[in-house]
Amino acid sequence: MERLVAPAKLTVTLEVLGRRHDGLHDLRAEMMSVDLADELTVDPGGDGLVVAVEPPAVAAPAADGENLVHRALAVVGRRAAVHLVKRIPVGGGLGGGSSDAAAILRWAGVTDPEVAAGLGADVPFCVVGGRAEVTGMGERVRPLLDEDRSFVLLVPPFGVDTGAVYRAWDALGVGGDRPEAPPGGGNDLTAAALVVEPRLARWRDRFAEVTGRVPALAGSGSTWFVDGVPEGLGLAGRHALHLGPDEARLLAVRTVPAGWAGTRPAEPTPTGGPDATAPTGP
């Protein structure tokens, strides 16, 4: 059996260059791998997929044939029993499913970006990892020098449909005027994501109120992020923000280089450290 680590990806900047004739979109983005990660244990002598959920993930993706792990195994023509420990929140725009698929491709020795792109737009970057400029529909990945950066993520209690966000981007751009990202966002999809999921704005504003920073949206959402560490952002001792009865998880992460395998099963760091187990206000 072999243990694989599948780090989340953070889309730090995202420019949508236009809609192609086939309805897909060309983009230019800067992406980074961070130390929030899923873990896969692969047994080539077995078959089937078992998914276990650990915080901060609260829900498991389907373990059926549509799961990207199954699809990646099919693409490379391999069979294996896979035990997936899901820690990357589903639907947060952090590329958890794509990174799981990329881990299987690397395990099988398949690094062809066209094969990876056939599984999803984020999979080619996740195969490469580290820090990179991503262009085309995601299939062109140009590695960049690593940067040691820290971020705090705010993960709302809901996901956002990526396809719906791109359709909203198309609608907002009728007449040739591209939707603009808000100041500090660096993400052309922000306005469209707010149309698709208006609740994002309340969590952005709450995050900004507490940190004094302008949060950026990760990809199509739903995760917001700011640069820095909890102590410098007024978040020491906090593991979540609240809006009424709803809770959004706070996670402190750092960038990791290409090929990072972790020194132990990767666990995201709650912003208050291991003792931050209770909310500390709204």
Q: How confident is the model over 62-79, as pLDDT tens digits? A: 766 678 999 999 999 999
Amino acid 125: pLDDT: 98
Averaged pLDDT for residues 17-31: 90
Q: Are 228 and 213 in contact (CB under 8 A)?
A: yes
Going along the chain from its start, the domains and CATH numbers come out as: 2-143 (3.30.230.10), 150-267 (3.30.70.890)
User: Which residues form the catalytic set?
Assistant: 9, 122
Averaged pLDDT for residues 29-55: 94
* Residue 18 confidence (pLDDT) above 60: yes
Q: How confident is the model at residue 266 (pLDDT cuts 50, 70, 90)?
A: very low
* Residue 182 confidence (pLDDT) above 60: no
Structure tokens at 65: 């044939």
Q: How confident is the model at residue 55 (pLDDT cuts 50, 70, 90)?
A: confident
Tens digits of residue pLDDT in 197-236: 999 999 999 999 999 999 999 999 999 999 999 999 999 9
Tens digits of residue pLDDT in 144-156: 999 999 999 999 9
* Residue 177 confidence (pLDDT) above 90: no
Averaged pLDDT for residues 133-146: 95
Q: How confident is the model at residue 277 (pLDDT cuts 50, 70, 90)?
A: very low
Full-model pTM:
0.87
* Residue 265 confidence (pLDDT) above 70: no
Q: Are 261 and 5 in contact (CB under 8 A)?
A: yes
* Residue 275 confidence (pLDDT) above 60: no
Q: What are phi and psi of 170, to 5 degrees?
A: -60, -45
Tens digits of residue pLDDT in 76-93: 999 999 999 999 998 899
Amino acid 61: pLDDT: 74
